[in-house]
Amino acid sequence: MPGPDLDSILAGAAERFGTPAYIYLTDAIETRLTELRASLGAWFDVSYAMKCNPNPALLAWLAPRVDLIDVSSGGEFALACAAGWQAQRASFTGPAKRDDELRAVIAGGLGELVIESPREARAADRIAAELGVVQPVLIRLAPDRVPKGFGDHMAGRPSPFGIDIEDAPVALPQILALPNLHVIGLHIYSGTQCLRPDAIAENWRIYMQIFRETCATHDLMPQKLVFGAGLGIPYHPGDTALSLPQIAADIGPDLNAFRNEPRFSRTKLVLELGRFLVGEAGYFVTRVISTKSSRGSRLAICDGGMNAHLAASGNFGMVLRRNYVIHKIGGGDEVEKVDISGPLCTSIDKIGGAVLLPPLAEGDLIAIHTSGAYGPTASPLHFISHPTPREILVEGAQARDVTRIA
């Protein structure tokens, strides 16, 4: 369970800046980066998928510490550049890129455009020609299978993401022939939120086999290959955190053999990830407004709920709702079951069901763990027009309000 130092930080931020609030601890992100590089840095650079948390202050903090950034819209590209990321360090993924976005990122010096379809490639080629440039691109491929153990599959089934591997023999020559695009490599991201090291390793073996076969077929000497990480984090009680050393021990020999092949000896391998880097560094803190007993259950009604933290309510891609790890700030010895609701006038605004916590009273603070990814920007903040949550960045002992959305 959390210690007094964490509770002191969370309570202090809540008192100073108000609730509900997201609190991001940069020390935890620094530790995670160190762990990643110690286990996987011999093979991979790291790319931050900013869709999971695009807070500008967090982006600025990450800029000197992470190799690359992946954006998923023209708006994210502008945010990243404004936060200090050089355009050439960015890639741009997404299945429905508009012409105005393509024009803005190509004109802005985007590092790599990740091509998701021949239609998109033709649009990018036309716009690059109009701008008088040749745009570096990665072609995104969708494998025909994903190992069991991934929370979300983006391949192996009908998907808007990338070019199905079975369609690649026809699609890739069309893209390679476009004169204003320079294909510098390939990209695969086929599954997310996996807590099984063996499944992670097997997924990356699938990637390597596809990279081998595709590059041989089309005589590509890739400058860059992007491995969609799929690394999960332990959201729920009972989840087991991933062991990075175990992944490295399993996949390391395969990666070494891959890098020793002449075709890939100079290729930069990139691990694209988001929640694994920042998710466990964030806490959502909400204050109890009232408590009641209702038909045999205890209820705590808080100032932040589904409107501020959609994922914790179970309405962000969760098939069966499960509680996040939650604790009462300040603790207590006795525990009881309590249902935790937010302020909305809807029965689905529940952020905890039958949670075992010390008895809650008006004014108490609770913290929802693993809230550093898919928080404010993934939530219906303006539903019923309650105040939007604060975003607080804590660097060492210093906390500051970095709220983006008013």
pLDDT in tens, 355-395: 999 999 999 999 999 999 999 999 999 999 999 999 999 99
* Helices 118-131 & 99-107 angle (0-180, nearest 10): 50
Same domain, 102 and 180: yes
Q: What pLDDT shows up at residue 362?
A: 97
Task: For the chain, list residues with pLDDT below 50.
Answer: none
Statement to judge: residues 257 and 296 lie in one domain: no
Where residue 368 sits, what CATH number does that domain have?
2.40.37.10
| Domain end marker among 251, 273, 295 | 273
Number of domains in the chain: 2
**Residue 222 is assigned to a structural domain of this protein:** yes
- Give the end of a domain, one of 273, 300, 320: 273
Q: What is the pLDDT of residue 149?
A: 81
Q: 299 and 253 in one domain? A: no
Provide the 8-state DSSP code for 96: T
User: Do 158 and 111 share a domain, yes or no?
Assistant: yes
21: β partners: 285, 390
Q: Provide CB contacts within 8 A for 172, sequence distance 6+.
A: 139, 163, 214, 217, 218
Sign (positive/negative) of CA torsion 314, 317, 322, 324? negative
Distance from the Cα of residue 303 to its chain's centroid: 26
Q: Which domain holds residue 391?
A: 280-401
Domain assignment present for 293: yes
pTM (two decimals): 0.95
End position of a domain, from candidates 256, 273, 290: 273
In this prediction, residue 319 carries a pLDDT of 61
* pLDDT for 405: 87
Are residues 145 and 229 both part of a single domain?
yes
**Catalytic residue selected from 81, 194, 215, 345:** 345
- Would you state the pLDDT for residue 326? 97
**Annotated catalytic, 345?**
yes
